[in-house]
Structure 1
Amino acid sequence: MKKFKLISCLMVAVMIISSFSTAVFAGSFPDVSEESFSWALDAVEELSDQGVINGYQDGTYRPEKTVTKLEALVLLSRILGFDDDAHALINEKGLDNYEEFVLDLDLSYGDEEIIFLLEKGFFTEDDIEEYLADDNAEHGLKRYELATILSKALTSDSNIKNKEVKYDDKVDIPTSQRKYVAYITEVGLMKGMGDNIFSPITDVNRAQIALVLYNLQEMTDYNYTVCKVTSVDSLLSTIKFIKEGEEKESGYLVKDDVIIRVDSEEDTLDKIGVNYNAIITTSGDSLKSIVAYQPDIDDQFVAKVVSASNSTMKFAKFNGTKTEDVLFPVSKEIKIVDQEQDAVSVAKLGVGTFVDVKIKKGKVEFVEILDKTTTVAGVYKSISTEDGELVLTIEEVESKEDMVLYVGNDVTVTRNGSKSTMNELLAGDSMSITLTYNTITKIIATSKVQNKDGFIEEIRISAKPSIVVKVGGESVEYQISPEASYIVSGKQNCTIYDLRLGAQASLTVESNTVTKISTTVADTIIQVSGVVELVNVSYNMIQVSFYDPQTEQTVSQSVFVNASTKVFNNTTGKAVALKNLEEGSTISVIGTQSTGVYLASTIIVLN
C-alpha cells in the first residue's frame, strides 16, 4: 500500500500542480519579458529549458505568485541533482529509510524529492516536519526560510557559524535562523531589499525563486560521480576510488568542510571501507561531499576476530591459509553463540577468536564461536595445489564425505610412528589431523602393509596413476605411490612406463596404495624438459609445465626433490639451491614418475 500511495502522490502532482506538470517552455511566457521581470528572465528561461520549472496551461509563468514551502523544496531537489542518474542508489536507499516517514506527511506530491533531500543529508526529519507537517506544505515560503534551505543545500550545519546579522530588521528573524541569513548573505546568494532591510517574513514569489536557484546552480556547478572506494587514509585525510566504467584510480584530499555520510548517517572518513559504493559530489576541482554505502553483501566465512563492538566488527577473513581484513556494521538483530549454541555477548569476541560469520545485506547477522583447534579423522585420498597453496583431500570417517583442507606451511607429519613429509603420504592412509584456524598443522598417519600377487590387467597413466591387477580371480585397482619402486626382470629403478600388460606382478600395498611393484619387464629412465611454474621450498616441490607426447598436450606436473636430488646450472656447472630456482626457468628433469608426480634425481637449469 505504501508504494501505491507514493505513486498516487506523484499522479496527484501531475493533475493538480500545473507549475510542475505542464511544460510550457521559456520564450512562451508573455508575463516574463524585458518589459516585466527582466531581472528574472534569464533564470526563468534557463531553468525552464532544463525542465526544473514549468509554466501553467494558459502559457503564463505567473512570476508574482507566492511559492509554497513544498514547491521550494521540490525545486531545490532538482537543482541538487534529484534526477541525476548518479543518485539512483541514494534514491533507492532513501525509499528504504524514509518512505514511511514521508508518506505520513500526506503531501499532495513531491514524496520522492523530499526523500532524496533527507537521504543525502540536506535536511533532517525535524527540518522537514517543520516545513511540511500539518498544512505547512502549502504555506508561502518566507525569505528567512529560503535563506535557511539554501544554506543547508550549500553546507552542513556544523560549517555554519553564528555570525551577527547586520540587517536593521533582524528582530523579525527567528533567533535560531539568523545564522543562516548571515551565511547566505556572506556567500552572496541573497541580499537585502534596500535600506539595510532583509524583509525576512516577506513571501518569496516564483520569479525570485527562479533567480535564486539559477544563481545557486551557477555558484555550485555540482558534478556527481558514482565510484567504488579503493582506499581510505584517515590520518592523511585522503580517499581513493575507481569511477564507474573506468579502470584508473582517482582520489581527493578530504578537507574539514567536506560533508561525509556513511550508510545514511553523517559520519567521519574513517568509517568508509574499501569496496564501499560512493557518490562523490564536486564543484570544479573541489570535493564537496561523499555519500558512501556498505555494499549489500550476503556471505558466510570463517575468520579471526580483529575487533568487535556493538556497532562494527572487523575480521581477518580466511581464504585458504591467507587472510583479508574486512569491516562490517552490526545488524540490530545480531545473534552471537558459543560452541554449545548458547547466546553470548559481544564481549566474548576477543582478538583472535575463531568464528563462523554470516553477513546479510552487508551487516553482521550471526556469529558462532568455534574451537581454534580441532581434530578430524579421515582417509587420505589426494594432495594437490590450489592458487599456489597445498590442499589435502580426505574421506572424513564419520560422514564418509570428501573434505578438502588447506595445509599450513609449518605442518608436522608423522607416518607409522616416524617423522615424515607430505609427499610420503599414501592414498588409503588413516589420518588424525589437527587443524588450527581450519588449517592443517599436524598429521599423524598410519598404514597397513599387505603383499598381493597377480597379473597386470590395466595400467592407467594420469595425474593419479593406478594399476588393475587380477588377484585370486578378482580384478582390483590400486593407486600407485609417487615414491613407488619398480623392479622389472630383476632390474631396479624402473618406471611405470616399463610395466607391461599381462605381466605377473608382486605388489607391496600400504593402505590402498602400491609402494613397490616387481614384474619381469625391463625399465627405462624418463627425461622431460619444461618451464618452472612454482617453487615451494617448504614441501620440496616444484611445478613444471612440459609437452606430454602421450596426450599430445602441454601438461603441468608436480616434481618432488629429496636430499639426493642434484640441481645444477648447465652454463656454469655450479650447484643451484632449490630456493634459488626461479619461476620461468627452463629445466630438464631426470627421474621417476608415478601418480602424475615426478621424483627428480637430477635437475639441469638450461635457461
Structure 2
Amino acid sequence: MKIKRFISALLCGTMLAAVLSTSVFAATFSDVENDATVAWAKQAINEMTDKGYIKGYEDGTFKPQRAVSKVETLVLMSRILGVEDSEYSQTVKWADAGYSATVNAINTTYVDELSFLMYFDVLNITDLRDYASAANANTSLLRWQAAYLMVKLAGKDDQAQSAVLDENEYSDYASIPEAARPYVAYATNLGLMNGMGNDENGKAFFSPETTLTRAQMATLLNRMMEKMDRNYIQGKVSSIDTGNKKMVVNADGKNTTCTIGDMTGIKINGENSKFSRIESQSEVMVTYTFGDVRMIETVPPEENLSVYGIVVQTSDNSGGQQITIKDSEDENNKATYTFASNCKYTIKGSQGSYGDVKAGNFVRLVLSGSKVTECSVESKTSDVSGTFVKVNAGDDNRTTITIKNSDNEQETFDVSINGVEVTRNGNIAGVRDLAKNDSVVLSLTYGKVVSIKATSETENVSGTIKEIILSETPQITLDVKGKSETYNLTASTSVKVNGVDATIYDLRPGNAATVVTDGSNISKIESSATSSTGKTTVTGKVVSINTTLKVITVTNSSGGTETVYYESGTTFLKSTTGKSITAKDIVAGSNITATGSDSTGYFVATIVISD
C-alpha cells in the first residue's frame, strides 16, 4: 500500500505577526545561531521552518524568546493536522460548511483553521471561547494550556481523562490547575512535555504558569509530528465488515484493511455519521495518527440516473438505436436517448429486446453517462421501498426525492407536480419532515412520486451533556462512552429534567441524559442532574455571559472553568458601591463572587457580586 505523508504547503496572505509572519526559509536564523540559550531548539526550529509550519521574519530572525499566543497555537495545530495540504482541500470545505457559523461568532480571521480543528474534534465550543475569542486569542499560552491542547491535538482526550499525575512527578504539583493535571500527566507520559529544570532539591518542576516561547513551541510541535506520524490513504471502499469494524480500501490497485476504533471519526459527505452507513465503492480518505485510524471520510458512489416516461418512438439509425420519451405530466417535455450496445431489456418482468419496446409503453431508463444501460417496460403504477437520503427543490419548480434501495444503490425520483401525500409514523406530514435514514415506501404513477409513507429510525442513546448550542437550529452534544455525538433539537423535541416537563433552556452541561433519536434529530430527551457537592460559593474571572441562557462562565483561581446559572430573582450587586446592577452590566474580565447552591446538580446563584 502506498502510504502518503504530508509536507505542508507555504502559506499565502497576511498572517499573524509572531508565528505566522512572512516565510523565510534559510538554513539558519541569526538570532538562533548566535544565541546559546536556544541551542537545544535549533534543530527543531530549522526543521519546522523548512517544512513551512512555523515562519521566520523578513529580517532573517526567528525571535525564539518571543511568547506565542493562544490563537497562534491553534493555527499551528491546524497546520500539523493538514489544513494547508492540498489533499485536505475538500475536508476544509466540509469543515467550513459545518462549523464556520460557530467560528464566525467569535469574530476571528482564522475561520478555516478553527473550523478544521472542530471538524477533527480537537476543539469544542468551550475551547473556542477560551482560546480564540476576542478576550483570549492574543493572550500568551501557558505551559499547562499547551499540555491540554497537545493532548487534544493528539486525539487522546478520552485517554487523558483517566490519567493521574503523581504528586511526586513535579515539585510544583500544587501549582498545576487541578483540571489540567490529567493532561500534564498524559503529555509527560507521551514524551511531549517534561520539566523546566530542577529546584534546589534536585526535583523537576513543571512551571505551569510560564508562557511558551517560539523556540519551545517549535520543539513541542516537532515532537508531536514525530510521535503522531500522521499519514493517509485514498481510494475506494472494497468491502465492509460492520461486525468486526473493519474496512478494506483499494488504493493504487492494492488492498489495505483498516480497523475502526471507538474514537474513530466517521464522516459521509462531511457530516458526522456511523461506520455502518458507509457504502461499498465509496470514495474514501482514511487519516491515521499514532498508527490508528483517526478519521474516515467518504463520498458515496455516484448514482445511476433513472428516468421515466412514455415512449414516443424508437429508431435505429447511424447514431445507434435510440428512444424518445415524453413526460407524463408535460407532453412538450421530450428527450431522446441512445441505447448502449449491452443494454438490458425487461418487458414487465421478463427478459426482452430492443424490438419489444413500443410507442405508448411506459418505460424506466437507467443511464450510465449518456447511454441507456437498462430499459424496462413497467406498469403505470408501482411502489418502491428504500431509505430516505434527501429531497431537492430545483429552480425550475421540479422537486426530486433520493432514496437508497435494497441493493444499497441510490435512486432519484421526480415528485408529481400535482402534489404528494406524505405520512410519517402514521401521521400526516410534509416532504420537509422526512429525516435521513427514514424507511420509506414511494407510490409512483408514471414514475412520479404521488405518495410517501415514512417510518423514522429511532435509537436510544445515553451519555453526558457536553454542549448546548442555541441558534436557528439548536444542537446538543453528548459524551457517549468518550465520543462526542451531536444531534439536532427541534420545536417538537420532548424535554424532561428530573422527571418534570421542561424546555431546552433547562438543560445543563454535565448532566446525564438519555435521548431518543429520530434520524439526526432528538425526539425525546430526559436529563437528570448530578448529585450536589454542597458548594455555596463560586469566585472567579468572567469568561463569558449569556443572558438568554442566564449563565456565566468563570475561570477560578486554579485555572479551571466553572459555570454559574442565575434566575430572574437573582440579585446583582456592585462590590465598590453596594448598589444593584443587572446581569447585562457584567462583562468578560469582571471578577465575581456568586453565592447560591448546587442542590439541583448545577450551581444556581442567588446573589452575584461584581467588581
TM-score computed with the length of structure 1 as normaliser: 0.49
The normalised TM-score by structure 2 is 0.49
Higher gyration radius (CA): 1
